[in-house]
Amino acid sequence: MITTGARIGALIGISVLLLGAAGIYLVRNSLGAPVPSRAGPAGTDPAGLLGAPHIVFRSAALGTDYGRLAVVAVTDPGGPRAVLDVDCERVYVTATAGTCVAARRGIPPRYALVRLDDQLRPVAEQELAGLPSRARMSRDGTLAATTTFVTGHSYAGSSFSTETVIWRGAQRIGNLEEFRTTVDGRPLTAINRNFWGVTFADDGDTFYATAAVGGQTWLVRGSLSERTLTGLRQNVECPSLSPDGRAIAYKKRLSSTGTPVWRIAVLDLASGTETMIADERSVDDQVEWLDDDHLLYAISRPGDEATVTDVWVTPADGSGMPRIAIPEAGSPAVVRGGTR
C-alpha cells in the first residue's frame, strides 16, 4: 500500500526532475538554437576543405588536438573538421598565406611568428617577444600584424605592456609605438601608451588599430607610408574591417572602473552610425567577419573559462540572436572565394 507521504514524495521528485529538465532546456535555448557540446569529428582530409570556402581556427577541444590548427567548411562550421599538426596560440590566414603565433614550451617559454603557406604548412619562423595576443593579415596575404604582451596577460587591467609589429613577409615594417600618433588634434606621446588589434584595408597602406593610455582607448586609423596613427573614436578596442570595407566591428568598453565589460558594436564608416549587436555578454576577442552581414567571435565556455572557447555567430545589424557556429574553437579566420 502506498502511503500519502510516499505519494507526495514521488510527486515532489517528479516535479524536481521536470523543473531541472526545463532549466536545461531554457539555458540551451536562451540564445537561439540548442548549443552543441562537442565539436564535429576530426580526421577529415584537409585538402578537400581547403579547396572551397572554409574557416581556419585554433582547436579548443580538450585532448591531443587542443591548440592545433583546424579547418571546417563555411557551409558546415559545426561539422567534420580537419586537424593539422601545427600548434598556434593565435592564427590568421588568407587564400595565399597564414600567420601563426606559437608558443615554444620550456623554461622560460619562447614565442614565435610562424609563417604558413597556402596549404597551412610552416615555411619560416622567427622569435617574438611576449605572450601572444592578436594576429591579423591583409586580404592579399602580403601584410601581417602581431600583438604580444611584453608584460601582463590581459587587457582587463592597466598593468600591461604590448608590442604590436607590422610585417611584410620576414621584413619588420615597424612597431606601432614608433609611429606618430595624434588623438583629438594632440600628439599621443605618453610613455605608457600601448597599441593592439590591427585590421588592414585593401589598399596596402591603410589599417586600423587600438591605441591606449591608462584606462583610455581609441580607434585609430594608420598609414604605413606616412607612419602615422590618427584617433577616430574613444572606448574602442580590437577593430575588424568588414570584407566590403564599409564597416568596422569592435569591442566597446562599457565600464571604466572595476572588471571591464566589452560589448561588440559595429560602426558604419560612411554615416558614423554605431550599432550594438544582439549578444549582451562581455566579449574579449577580435571579431572576424563571416561575411558582410555576420560576425564570428570566441567566448569562454562557462565552467571551462581557462581552457575551452566556442566560436559564436551573430548578425552585424543588431537583429537575430547569437548561436554557436564552431564548438570548441577560437581565433577563427574565414577564407572566402574559391580554391586556395
What is the pLDDT at residue 337?
Answer: 62
Q: Does residue 105 surpass a pLDDT of 70? A: yes
What is the pLDDT at residue 249?
Answer: 98
Looking from the CA of 278 toward its CB, the CA atoms found within 13 Å total: 18
Residues 6+ apart with CB under 8 A from 310: 35, 60, 298, 299, 301, 324, 326, 327, 328, 329
What is the pLDDT at residue 48?
Answer: 86
Worst-scoring range by mean pLDDT, 102-111, 153-162, 214-223? Answer: 153-162
End-to-end CA distance of the chain: 74
Q: What is the mean pLDDT of the chain?
A: 85
Query: For residues 117 and 22, what is the distance between their CA atoms, to the nearest angstrom?
Result: 49
Percent of the chain with pLDDT over 70: 82
Query: For residues 241 and 153, what is the distance between their CA atoms, to the nearest angstrom?
Result: 25
Residues 6+ apart with CB under 8 A from 334: 53, 54, 55, 74, 288, 289, 290, 291, 296
Query: For residues 206 and 234, what is the distance between their CA atoms, to the nearest angstrom?
Result: 19
What is the pLDDT at residue 257?
Answer: 64
Residue identified by cell 567534420 is: 80
Domain ranges across the chain:
1-30, 40-335
What is the pLDDT at residue 60?
Answer: 95
Residue identified by cell 536562451 is: 30
Nearest to 144 by CA among 115, 176, 166: 166
Reported as a pLDDT band with limits 50, 70 and 90, residue 107 is confident
Residues recorded for the chain: 340
Q: Does residue 334 surpass a pLDDT of 50? A: yes
- pLDDT mean over 209-226: 93
Nearest to 329 by CA among 291, 300, 289, 293: 300
What is the pLDDT at residue 240?
Answer: 98
Assigned fold of 40-335: Neuraminidase (2.120.10)
Which cell goes with 165? 609589429
Query: For residues 10 and 179, what is the distance between their CA atoms, to the nearest angstrom?
Result: 72
3-state helix, strand, coil in the chain (%, to 5): 10, 50, 40
What is the pLDDT at residue 24?
Answer: 32
Residues 6+ apart with CB under 8 A from 39: 59, 61, 78, 81, 326, 327, 328, 329
The alpha helices in the chain, defined as continuous H runs, are 4-29, 46-50
What is the pLDDT at residue 302?
Answer: 85
What is the C-alpha radius of gyration for the chain, rounded to an integer number of angstroms?
Answer: 22
Q: Does residue 17 surpass a pLDDT of 90? A: no
pLDDT tens for each residue of 238-279: 999 999 999 999 999 887 667 788 999 999 999 999 999 999
Q: Give SS3 for 17.
A: helix
What is the pLDDT at residue 38?
Answer: 64
Q: What is the residue type of 327?
A: P
